[in-house]
Structures are given as structure tokens and as C-alpha cells.
Structure 1
């Protein structure tokens, strides 16, 4: 199957990869309990008992409808004021909804509750820093437990309290002597540099930030923190009159994480001779940066609530932080709350280097809410305002893809290729990939294939390109061996991707290798349960190996499963009649069963395409 990808331009620089941070990470990545299909949403006024209010609140909570959850938890507390579990969930819902002051009141009331001590200590400590009560903050944030991540977080926050209290050298000495696993250094180097800048020690700041920028491990472990370090060092050098050193720092960042729009804006500012101000200028902003650093590193599938909690508290401490707003917007999109995402993107300050990023993602998200024409006009205006920004074409192309306007999509990416010029960079693979998809959908294979092959030339191991091109070759019964090899290579790169495994199974089916097809499609169904197309494919494979009852079961599953890209009338016909006999005149592939139209994948995120899906 040609996988449908979700365009997320901007939920941080990149999702963290392979970061194991002791017990906290395991808790952060726990899957939330799904709501039942027959769950009913209640308004607070409709909940006339404790159980009614509580169950409705939990349903709203699981659905990430925090405003409703807050009302319903408060209603439940009327029936049972002493219920600690309800009060704990109320506090968390308030913080997740961005209501810091109300969440703070609950945190004060729960400060002796061991179940939420991790949260209440941080919230109360940050409030003390914000109010300039630095000694109180240090006492609140004291931590001597065994969890490495908690120890790092609390030590960094307490050190920022010391910086706020005028004890910058003491704070930096504490962090410099902090012992822990290797990944600590990613965070300590950046925050040591930021602390030194706030304390006025330029030489110490330069040393620590250089350490952060030359730490290649930081790119994989905490890319958002790495980019903050790059930009802080560039601003430091520009302010000191070292223009070339500032540009050199930017070049290091651009080499390791290409197409990062704020870095481009900072480069342009420094090239003009400007001296941009630092992002962190006081203890409150520094403390907010700690939660941004940790939240960004933990930003992965299943951890959205915990990451959003950290980021919402960071936002309360530093409301102007654009990267925090943008990462929160990306999380809201992943949680399928586009209206919240739009509101967050619109809060990014107009003078921020990240404003254009937020505008691009805003356009894509408008399309998600059904405002397709508004999204098109918004993104076309952004292209006109900066025709050299490839990211604009990718965002606009994503909207056109969702709208199935493949002619306009092809024209859009043709313009993007013109802008790229004769020597594309590896990061430009996604432009050629999307142009290939547009022409393939227009049934102009003579234009599609060169684009796919160019994308592979730029990024030879990109699984989505290998899958799409390989599947297309097999489906058209041309270059079969090459196509099958491409799909196998894609599966090797992403063995747990149900869509790509489905491609391999379906390729075997097309080639008449039905036993191999069953093996792969059974695995695909396990990896991606409830997908109509995969269930349909497995039904076909079962039928060909003589397992008719199981085939009908899978086809019926396809009829009730998710997916708009299957021909349900055709599936109903198969349930009634089965598959026709194989055409004896067919050369290699089984041509008796037309494949449903495959979904078109919107562009993956251009900041770090290999790490997003």
C-alpha cells in the first residue's frame, strides 16, 4: 500500500529517537486508555451523580477535551470534595488546557500528595522563580531521588533559581559537577551557556555553547535543544562583533539539520549586520527552557499528554517563546485538535523568526478543518511573499494533495523544482517525491518515474520512496524484480510499518506468489489493525490459497474498518461471489482483482524528513 503520511512541518525540529530516560520515559510513553465506541459525552449540567460526572470527565479527558473535563471534574468534586484522584486529574487538565494559575492553586492544595509530587513540585517551584522568590524555589525543587531525568530536571531548574538570585557562578559550578548518563551533556552544555549569558560571563557562555554545538549526539537526542544552542552561539558572536563566527555557527546547524527556517531568518539578520537579542534573558525564561528541552526530547507517539504538560507550563513562564507554541501546535494536531493548533500558531509573535513556520503550518491545518480554499489562498500568499522558500511549496502541495487536485499539485512542484535549480540538495528529495506522486496520479508515468528516481538519488534509503516506486513498478507489471527489491528494501528499513509490509504482501499477490503474500499480509494486519485496504488484500490472498471462509471474514472486516480508499461495492461483490478464476493469459501478475485507489501521502516534514512520519 502507498502509505498516507501526515504532514507535520513543525512539531519541533524532529521527534526524539531511541531515547531511554529511565522510569519517567516509560510512563510518558504509556498509551492512554481508549474511549469506548458507545461512550457518551455529557455536559456538566447533565451529570447528576458522582459516577455520571466522573465517567463523563474521564471520557472527555481521554478525548483530550480538557475544557469539558475540567467542568465535569469540578462537578464530581461537588459530590465528593475529598476525592484525591479527581482533584489530581482536575489539576492536570487545567495545566493541559493552559490554565496555569488555576492549576497552580490545585498544585498548592496537593503539595503533600505523593502521587502527583513530580508535577506539583515543578509547578510550585516555577511559580516561585516567576515571582522572584529564588530561595523558596530552590527549596521546593530540591530532589534526591533515583530517577535520572527527574534529577536532571530539578537540578537545572534549581540552578536557574540560583542564577535569578545572583548566584550564577554557584549555579554553573553545580551543573558542571552534575554526574549522570552521557545524554545529560546535551542539556547541561546548552543551559550552562544560557546561564553564563544571563550572568554576563561571555567567555564561559562561548565555551559551553561551542561544546553543545559540536556535540553530534545532540542532534539525535535533543534536536530542539541543539538548535537553541546553535542560535544562542550565533547571537553571542554577532553581538560581540564576530560576524563570520556567527555565520559559521549557523552553518554547523544548517549542515546537521537542514531547512530550519528560524536559522535562515537568523542568518539573514546577521548578514545585514544586526545583533539579534538572546532568547533567554532571565531566570524565568531559562527555567521555561528546561521544560522545553525535556519536553522536546520526549516528544514521541504516546507521550503527547506528558509533553504537552511540560510545554504548557513552559509557555506560562515564557509566553513569547515561539518554538514552544509551535511544538504545542504540532501536538494538538497529532491529537486531532486542529482548532487548538490554529489558536496556538496564531499566538506566535509577528516579529519572531518562527512566524513564517507557524503561518505555513496554519495553512495546512486550516485545510484539515475543511477550509480548503482559505488554506490555498493563505499558502499561495506565502509563496508570493518569498518564492525561494521551498517549504511553502511543500505546504501548498500537501493541501492540493488532500484535495486530490493533482494537476495543480504537479504545477506547484514543477515551480519548486525550478526554484531548487540544477543542483538539488539531499533535503530536496521530498519535492521530487511529491511531484512524482502528482504525475503518477495524472497517469503520466513518463514524468512520474524520473521524479521518483531523482528522489531516490537524493535519498537512496528513503523507505516511502522505495515503497511507492517499487509498488508502482509491480502494479504496472514492469521491472518486476527491481520493484520487488525496492519494496523489500523499504520493509528492511521499516519492518514495523504495516503499510509497507502490506505493499510487499500485495506485490507477492500480483506476482502470483500467494503463500508468500498471505505470510506478509497477515503480519501487516497485525501491525496496522483495522485498516480496510489491508483487510481487503488479506481476504484476496486467503481466497487464492483456498481459505475461502477466512477470505470472506477479512472482506467483511474491510467493510466495517476505517479507510476511504477502498471500493466497498467491489468488496461486497467479492463477499457474495468470491474472486473469479485467474486469467490463464496473464503473464506474471494476478490481474483478476483491481486494487482500490491508493491514498496519496502528503509531504513529510522537511526539517528532518528521515525522522518524521
Structure 2
């Protein structure tokens, strides 16, 4: 497990400063649309609007260009400078962002605080540690940057040549992140000062707790290897591998230590400072504060441009912001041989799939599975892409050997994935077997309960058991429209059409774009005599990009109804 995965569950923080109101002398003449030329880009404010739209769409580089032009044309230099700074920071143009960081007393306080942090990082990056240390002391950035400021302070001191200041462990009241990563930084700085006993005391404390061992084992192991204590390092890695036997980073480290290979170098001052920023970025990402997370990752990469886990998380955030091309560019920074390579390439494949280039997605996924044949995640990603592309039997074939290898300790998730592909491949008995096996491992998992329960309901089998299963699933996830649809369909199959309508109406509210849910509600309406509304729902199915089966069923129902009440009268509502 990577540090990023461990840290993705943290406290709530504020978002970046909201966009300021447009200057009062500007008259808006319609909605701003990033995809159309709705603004006169010959004017400063036209450039500003274009920059705002690009920034909202996650196109930070384009935004920075618009804001730069707006600043030259200049009608409101303060506001434009703030937006330009934000765009440059999010685009990774840290040197330019530091130069553009607002310092005017009238500037937005939140932007000024982030500007101070950016200037501190840039000072460390260009070797001006004394400037960084002085800035942190003179203008300590406040909320929500206290964690970053605390973690950066020792590294700024180290960059400034302040040996005593460098080994002071940072603290922040009731803040575990600062406690743990501050102690990690102290351990490294003790090691830099050749105070090895004190460094080892910190490393041991970080790996002694189950809560932090998975995060800091590689750090302590690297220290042991640098001290030529290879047997101790192997023992440490073996202990960690018992909890995470497939962890590629641990496996690689163990093999290196066992062979007494060259140890990982002690991180530089810049790399150590970057680590704390990545930890803070993961905190923001865990609370979906994507702009702060991306800003911190860009700052970290200014200090340590080869930090692979940061590039992976940048790609993840860009993907979440509907920028798959930017995500692909970020993932491409992770080189073969990195523990993060397989993950980055698998995510690259999914990004190509999101763009719509399914052939390229499969090409990347297949190449990754070949390049790292023992990487479980790469194989699973290939299987999932094959399933998503309708190549169900091929997906099953990729999963079969993985599940067979892990038969002594099966993973319910892999059984579930294979069951989905088997069901789509019309191999129901095998799918049913996998689902039942998965439920033995994890009997309360809502996804399993819903899938098997719904499948039985749809096949008109084991209805009483299926009803109990979907009821349990809905109780666990009451906001899931898909699971509520299963429950409604169960009532339909049992002939309780009134209750079916009630449940399916609620399901459609949660999943208005799902063809199956809309079709089920139409069927239930028909059964209770609401033919006009039934036809409306079936017509809606045709507007929701149904597959061939869904389309054929909806068209047949629109023509003949369900055949129980006879042909329904034609409804004009259904065709509006």
C-alpha cells in the first residue's frame, strides 16, 4: 500500500478562494460558456472571462495564458493577478506563480496565504533557504496551510544551514499528520547530521505502531540498508510483507536488501520538503478539495519532479476534473521500473477509454500486463477493460489464473468481477457459483447481495431469498438507486405492483439516466393501470442510449404494451 492510499481519509478544509464578482462597470450579455466565443477576447475582461471559464474546466495552462493577456490589457490588475497566480500554480508553473503571488494588502487573504507558501517552496527550490526560513517566520501562512508550514519549517532551516532548527520536530495541536510526518522528517534530518541513534529512535517509533508501519517501513528499511544492516532490513520487510504480500515496493526493497545491493539514497532537502507537501495533498484529496490538492502536488513536484506517487495523484485529480488528456500526460512521467508504473499505466488505459479510444486503452493495458506479468493490479485492470468493452470471455480468461493462484485465500472482489463478466457472457451457472463463493467470504457486502439477488429476481428464481438479499443491500446503502431498483423489481416479480411503483419511482429519482430503471418503472405503471405514464417511461428508455436489448424491449412495449391488459391507447405524452 502506498502512502497516498493510506492518507486518503482526512479532515475537512476550505476550498480555494471563490471567484470574485465582476467589476460593476462590466455588463454581462448572456451566459459565459467555455466552449463558445461568447466574450470579446480583444478586451481585458474578455480575456479574464475566457480564463475563468478555462479554470473552471480544469484547463489551467489555457487559463494562465488568458490571464496573462488580461494583465497586459489590464482593467483590474489586482483581480487578474489573483486569478493568474491561481492558474499558474495549478498548471505547475511554480516559478511564474511565485513571481505573480499577490502581496498587496487589498488582495484576497486566502490567495495571499497560498502565495506565501508558493514563495517559500520556490525559495527552497532555487537554493535560497534563508529566504524561505525568513518568510515562514515573518509571514506564516494561516488556515488551511498550517500543516504545510509546520512540515516545511525544518527543511527550510536545513536549506538555510540552521542545523539546530532543522532537527526540531514540528508540532501542531492534535494533528497526527504533522506528528508522524514531522517525526519522519526529523529522523531523516538526524541521519543527515550523522546522529544515527537518534534517527533510528524516530524510525523505530514510526514503524512500531500498526497505524503507521505501512507508511514508514520503506523509510526505516532504507536507513538500515544505508547502515549496511541488510539482515535487519530483510527482517523488517518480511514482517511488512506478511500483511501486504503483493506490495511491489516492499518486494523490490526486500530483494535489494537480500542481495546487498546499492541502498536507496538519503532524500535531499528538496525531496524531504516535498514529502510533507504530498502528505498534505493527500489530506485535501481525501476531502475532495481538488484545487488545494492539485496546488500542493504541483508545489511538491517543483521540489522533487521525479516523485512518482505525486504524478499518479496529479493524474487522478485531472481525471476527476474531466481532463483525461492531462491525466495521461501526468501518468507518463512514471517510468518503467517504478513501483507505481503498473498503476500509472493502468490508469492511462482507463483515461484513453474515457476519451473514447477503446482500442488504445486495450493496447496500453495489454502492454502493461506483459511488461509487469506478476503485477496483479495490471491484470485486473486489463480484465476490467475487456469486460467494459464487451469482451467478456476474454476478461474471464485473464482473471482465471489470478483467482486460481489465490485459491487458498480468495478475494471476493475478483470473484465478483469474474461473475459480472460470466453473467454477461451468458454463463450464468458459473457466475452464480462465483457470487455464492464471494458471499461466503463477505456475506454482508451490498454489491454482492444486490447482484445475486437481482439476478435471481430477473430470472424469476429463489424470489423469497432474493427479496431478503436486496432488502439487506438497500438497508446498507439506502441512497443507491440501483439497489432500490432491485428491491422494486422484486416486489414486481412477487406481484405487489403498488409497492413496486413506490420503490421504482424512488429509484428513478436517484438514477434518472438508467434505461433499466426507467423501463422497470414503466412496466410497474402498466401493471397498476397507468398506461400513459408507462409509455412515457418506455419512450424515455429510448432517449437514454439503451443497448440493443433494452431498445428492442422498449420498442416492443410501446407497440403492444405488456399484453396483460391488452393494447393500451396511444399516449401523446410518451412522444413529447
Query: Normalised by the size of structure 2, how large is the TM-score?
Result: 0.84
Residue 93 (structure 1) shift: 1.5
Q: Which residue in the other structure is 1:173 paired with?
A: 168
Residue 411 (structure 1) shift: 1.3
Q: Matched residues in 2 for 1:111 and 1:271: separation?
A: 58
Q: Matched residues in 1 for 2:417 and 2:550: separation?
A: 25
Residue 117 (structure 1) shift: 1.7
Q: Which residue in the other structure is 2:24 paired with?
A: none
Change (3 A) 1:436 1:582: farther
Change (3 A) 1:553 1:37: farther
Q: Which residue in the other structure is 2:53 paired with?
A: 59
Deviations 1:373-427 (A, max 9, x none): 4443443344344433222220111221121011211111123223x243135xx
Residue 367 (structure 1) shift: 3.7
Q: Which residue in the other structure is 2:15 paired with?
A: 27
Deviations 1:31-57 (A, max 9, x none): 9xxxx9993525799623445433333
Q: Which residue in the other structure is 2:465 paired with?
A: 482
Pick from 484, 487, 490 the counterpart of residue 504 of structure 1: 487
Q: Which residue in the other structure is 1:290 paired with?
A: 276
Number of aligned residue pairs: 554
Residue segments in structure 1 that go unaligned for 5+ positions in a row: 1-8, 219-225, 584-613
Q: Which residue in the other structure is 1:435 paired with?
A: 418
Over the aligned positions, Cα root-mean-square deviation in angstroms equals: 3.6
Residue 94 (structure 1) shift: 1.5
Q: Which residue in the other structure is 1:591 paired with?
A: none
Matches within 5 A, 1:412-491: 412-418=398-404, 420-425=405-410, 428-491=411-474
Q: Matched residues in 2 for 1:16 and 1:135: separation?
A: 33
Deviations 1:550-597 (A, max 9, x none): 6566556655557769835654665677654379xxxxxxxxxxxxxx
Change (3 A) 1:348 1:182: closer
Choose 184-193 or 335-344, whichever is displaced more.
184-193
Change (3 A) 1:171 1:539: farther
Q: Which residue in the other structure is 2:255 paired with?
A: 268
Are the aligned partners of 1:88 and 1:116 in contact in 2 as well (CA < 8 Å)?
yes
Are the aligned partners of 1:162 and 1:171 in contact in 2 as well (CA < 8 Å)?
yes
Are the aligned partners of 2:113 and 2:141 in contact in 1 as well (CA < 8 Å)?
no
Q: Matched residues in 2 for 1:129 and 1:190: separation?
A: 19
SS of 1:320 mapped into structure 2 = coil
SS of 2:383 mapped into structure 1 = helix
Q: Matched residues in 2 for 1:210 and 1:564: separation?
A: 57
Q: Which residue in the other structure is 1:39 paired with?
A: 33
Pick from 70, 74, 91 the counterpart of residue 76 of structure 1: 70
Q: Matched residues in 2 for 1:554 and 1:446: separation?
A: 32
Deviations 1:293-324 (A, max 9, x none): 01112224742222111111111110010111
Q: Is 1:158 the equivalent of 2:153?
A: yes
Pick from 318, 323, 330 the counterpart of residue 332 of structure 1: 318
SS of 2:101 mapped into structure 1 = helix
Query: Normalised by the size of structure 1, how large is the TM-score?
Result: 0.79
Are the aligned partners of 1:11 and 1:327 in contact in 2 as well (CA < 8 Å)?
no
Q: Matched residues in 2 for 1:564 and 1:306: separation?
A: 40
Q: Matched residues in 2 for 1:366 and 1:252: separation?
A: 38
Q: Which residue in the other structure is 1:16 paired with?
A: 8
Change (3 A) 1:375 1:135: same
